Amino acid sequence: MANIFSFCVFIVLSSLCFSKAQHVKVYELKRGYFSAKFTNYGATMLSVILPDKTGKLDDVVLGYDLVNDYKNDTTYFGAIVGRVANRIGGAKFILNGVTYKTDANDGKNTLHGGSKGFSDVIWTVKSYKKHSHVTFSYESFDGEEGFPGNLSVSVTYMLLHKNKLAVKMMAKPLNKPTPVNLALHTYWNLGGHNSGDIMSHTLKLFGSEITPVDSELIPTGEIVPVRKTPYDFRRPREIGSKFDQLPHGYDINYVLHKSRRSRHLRKVAVVVESKCGRKMELWTNMPGVQFYTSNMLKNEKGKNGTVYGKHAGFCLETQGFPDAVNHPNFPSQIVKPRGIYKHFMVYRFTTH
């Protein structure tokens, strides 16, 4: 009888925990005509609604109608990816003499933290004020997707003034050193999520170097200048203006210029859509940014029945360098217990 009682208690408690784990909601932040929505599934950005130069409101973020659709996607629309964003070559790395094998979910490599990275877990809502911020937290366990140590993670989305969105990502290892590299994987289209491709968007990117990759998109370890290549966006030009030289589009990490003032964020990029007049500026404290032109999108059914095709959006994912765990010359992503990982992003939206 005792065994049956214990079994019944276990079933009841498991059911309660399961019910709690399935509690997924949507949280809106709003100031005037500027609003954004998020969910605690993957700490995902669902929408950003902005006026254009005539006052017309549009959602400028690609995504789905239902939160449930984000649970089965392979696009990482709007998600926080980690524990280590981007790729880890060979799905393994050595730390303090120990070889760690991570989940190989991209051929023989690890992409965005593995098959069930931070984009595919339910986060806890720690704080929410509609006109201010929402904070999500997640407790990552030792061995999750192959990564060492327990890790406490939080992400805060904040509205600043009437046209700025700030993102604060923090992580604290509890018992072991571990690599940490979080990224926000939002797909933007400043003309509106359903306005077609982003080829005519004008981009200025504040990076003079890239980390080139092999055929599997794993960095070679080199850092090379963009001068006289299709990767050079130091002066504003249309995103699609050199696709004749780069037919598959962009999916590369840029080395960002350091801020001229200590403790100031680095300027990442300025993007303008001339027809509607929307302009987006981005700053960060991270050393790199992945510029991606949604090369892998193909007939993806999104919001309001929109079908997203190739190059329907662009991503500017501020980050540490890809595969840094296997390249000692790249800035280290190892965070030790008592250390804190801090990643800041600030978007400013205007019209002209």
The binding site consists of: 86-87, 185-187, 251
The neighbouring-strand residues paired with 292 are 251, 315
Question: Which residue in the list 144, 300, 317, 343 is annotated as catalytic?
Answer: 317
**Euclidean distance between the first and the last CA atom of the chain, given in angstroms as a whole number:** 75
Could you give the CA distance from residue 283 to residue 204 in angstroms, rounded to a whole number? 13
Structure tokens at 39: 């969910």
Structure tokens at 184: 């926000």
Could you give the CA distance from residue 85 to residue 93 in angstroms, rounded to a whole number? 14
* Residues in the annotated binding site for beta-D-galactose: 86-87, 185-187, 251
Could you give the CA distance from residue 194 to residue 92 in angstroms, rounded to a whole number? 39
Could you give the CA distance from residue 43 to residue 133 in angstroms, rounded to a whole number? 13
DSSP string, 217-279: S-B-S--EE-TTSTT--SS-EEGGGGTTTSTT--EEEEEEPPPSSTTPPEEEEEEEETTTTEE
The neighbouring-strand residues paired with 151 are 140, 173
* Cis bond before residue 83 (omega within 30° of 0): yes
**185 included as an active-site residue:** yes
**28 included as an active-site residue:** no
Question: Which residue in the list 185, 193, 311, 343 is annotated as catalytic?
Answer: 185
Residues, the chain = 352
Give the catalytic positions in this structure.
185, 317
